[in-house]
Amino acid sequence: MLLIRCPWCGMDRPEIEFRHAGAAHITRPGPPDRVSDEEWAAFLYLRDNPKGRVAERWRHVHGCGRFFNAVRDTVTDVFVVTYKAGEPRPPETGPGESQPTEARP
């Protein structure tokens, strides 16, 4: 079980208190009549699936209840940083390649 630092609580808390909530920094385009079908489809369905650092949303649902963002490495599972919803991704956190590790057969 991972530990995740909730930027609102200021504490490391066990993973099972949290819910993953998809990719972070996705802007809902609008207003509707100015959004192309392509733009809307991208908003609905198109997501990156990088090997390495990814910015994603989490909610401390069994804690303070708040949504926040996290930069996590999809290879090592290490949380690089967490920050409050609405704040920009810290520039030093990537996007970057993680250190290579052996393939997991």
**Chain contacts with other proteins (rule: CB under 8 A):** 1-3, 8-11, 13-14, 16-17, 19, 21, 28-33, 35, 37, 40-41, 43-44, 57, 59, 61-67, 73, 76-78, 85-86, 99, 101, 104-105
Cα separation, 105 vs 100, whole angstroms: 15
Secondary structure class of 78 (helix, strand, coil): coil
> Residue 82: which of 65, 101, 69 has the closest Cα?
69
Site string for Zn ion, 16-55 (x = CB under 5 A): ----------------------------------------
Q: How many residues bind Zn ion (CB under 5 A)?
A: 6
Applying CB under 5 A, which of residues 53, 59, 60, 72 lies at the interface with Zn ion?
60
Cα separation, 69 vs 85, whole angstroms: 6
Beta carbon nearer to other proteins, 41 or 46: 41
Cis peptide before 31 (omega within 30 of 0): yes
Burial of 45 (0-12, 13-18, 19+ CB in 10 A): exposed
Chain positions contacting Zn ion, by CB under 5 A: 6, 8-9, 60, 63-64
